[in-house]
Structure 1
């Protein structure tokens, strides 16, 4: 059983609880165990670094230090948390002065940021550690009857200097996972584009337009559903779908799943068990 420290993202703790519910159901089926990092705090999204670089490094150095204390890598299921925490790690690893300053604060809690734990996405663990062959062998309900549109989202791909797992211009890991589960991926030019989530509060119409373009392509391509590794992308494409498509003059809809739910379905769990009924579009 491979063990990892699992970072509890704010979005999953509030709006997309079905993501963690799904992971809890099937993690042991795939020979992995996620130890929930209850001591962790909000990563600050993509904004804290601009407001207070020191606090940005501190809260995320602290999150990583908890994983290091357990001797485990830190795993996230949210793209923005991934980019944010990995950015902080890069800054700490490249600045001995910043690292010392942060550790002087962390030692009050008996913590130390050493830089030994990797910060990785759930998708990467599934493809690289569990392995696609193992996943194929575990599938109970192949997704062979489904045409699936892969939507990676921005923050698992860019900036590549911080992330670096997939080619941001031609990512493949999500496509490979879909195929391992028996699904059929469709050619989907929006798969590496933005969902619009991070501009919803400041430029709603532009955000809805971005989401509508991705949704419309999937609908026009006769996809049965969209799958994403990011709960923020899921919120944008599912929760704001009706508003986005109305804005674009499209009278249709399409379900959107997180990868944790897609895996659960292929491993034989029901939509009810996985919490899919919590979605706006089912």
Structure 2
């Protein structure tokens, strides 16, 4: 099956350009290997991670209407590799498209604010799409499987979807918000074995971590313990904020639960890119807090 030619307006978000730089690197490596063209939205701003609306729903809507309008200027769908960004921007886009029909004065108000800043108006002419949806829905699992040069045979991968990707929008493409299979289907396409466990669609605890740290780490610890007990070699997440709580803070999680864990946590594009023959050093796998050595050794690196 020939590979499709795809092009997106790329919204990398904040965390991938800072604390999870390896996500930025691995997304670039993966899309290059697949022949997907990304036009990075250099003028885009933080989506707010769900906090802007605590101050003002208009603030969240206006900021993200501007982000979407940047993609509309290019006549391209907006692509993100962050579940939180997908949840926030996708929900704003969904809400504003409804407002175009039911409350056009609100759209006029938002576009008036954008005009004051010299920005293009929000038109509602594009869509917001996570990298996972692009792989499953646009590129396609058969085409992805045809690109595999190193099957990840024997690697047991536990998906950690988190909250925003599945439940922030009224409807999501290519999956069921309560019984998702899209990540597991990607695992199968690249030769890995999906592992199912209780916490795969639950919150990682990150939103609680600034004011209820022990509770947040207990949540993360429960999920990691469940994945280990189910036989996982690694967790794989489409969300850098989940990655921070599950990987970067895993040593602190261990202290709270009183148990050693040591489970590697991979970003989705890192895992897929490995199957496409991309060298581990190009994917930032040495940047993780929990060593990924056990995963690489199992794959023969």
Please give the range of the TM-score, normalised by the shorter of the 2 chains: over 0.9
Q: Does 1:88 align with 2:92?
A: yes
Shift of 1:78: 0.7
Q: How does 1:80-229 map to 2 (within 5 A)?
A: 80-95=84-99, 96-108=104-116, 109-161=118-170, 163=172, 165-229=174-238
Q: What is the aligned partner in structure 1 of residue 60 from structure 2? A: 56
Instruction: Name the CA distance, whole Å, in 1 between partners of 2:168 and 2:91.
Output: 9
CA contact (8 A) 2:66 2:119 kept: no
CA offset digits 1:27-84 (Å, max 9, x no partner):
1322311110101001111111121111111110000000000000001111111111
CA contact (8 A) 1:216 1:250 kept: no
* Residue aligned with 2:50, SS: coil
* Residue aligned with 2:165, SS: coil
Shift of 1:246: 2.5
CA contact (8 A) 1:75 1:121 kept: yes
Q: Does 1:67 align with 2:76?
A: no
Shift of 1:170: 0.5
CA contact (8 A) 1:160 1:168 kept: no
Q: How many residues align?
A: 282
Shift of 1:266: 0.8
Shift of 1:121: 0.5
> Which residues of structure 1 form unaligned runs of 5+?
none
Instruction: Name the CA distance, whole Å, in 1 between partners of 2:56 and 2:135.
Output: 34
Q: Does 1:233 align with 2:247?
A: no
CA contact (8 A) 1:143 1:181 kept: yes
* Residue aligned with 1:202, SS: coil
Instruction: Name the CA distance, whole Å, in 2 between partners of 1:49 and 1:104.
Output: 19
CA contact (8 A) 1:157 1:165 kept: no
Give the TM-score taking structure 2 as reference length.
Answer: 0.90
User: Where has structure 1 moved over 6 Å in runs of 4 or more?
Assistant: none
CA contact (8 A) 1:153 1:191 kept: yes
Q: What is the aligned partner in structure 1 of residue 298 from structure 2? A: none
CA contact (8 A) 1:178 1:185 kept: yes
* Residue aligned with 2:236, SS: strand
* Residue aligned with 1:189, SS: coil
Q: Does 1:251 align with 2:260?
A: yes
CA contact (8 A) 1:86 1:163 kept: no
Shift of 1:145: 1.8
Shift of 1:160: 4.6
CA contact (8 A) 1:132 1:180 kept: yes
Instruction: Name the CA distance, whole Å, in 1 between partners of 2:159 and 2:208.
Output: 22
Shift of 1:141: 1.0
Shift of 1:187: 2.0
Shift of 1:252: 2.9
> Which residues of structure 2 form unaligned runs of 5+?
292-301
CA contact (8 A) 1:12 1:231 kept: yes
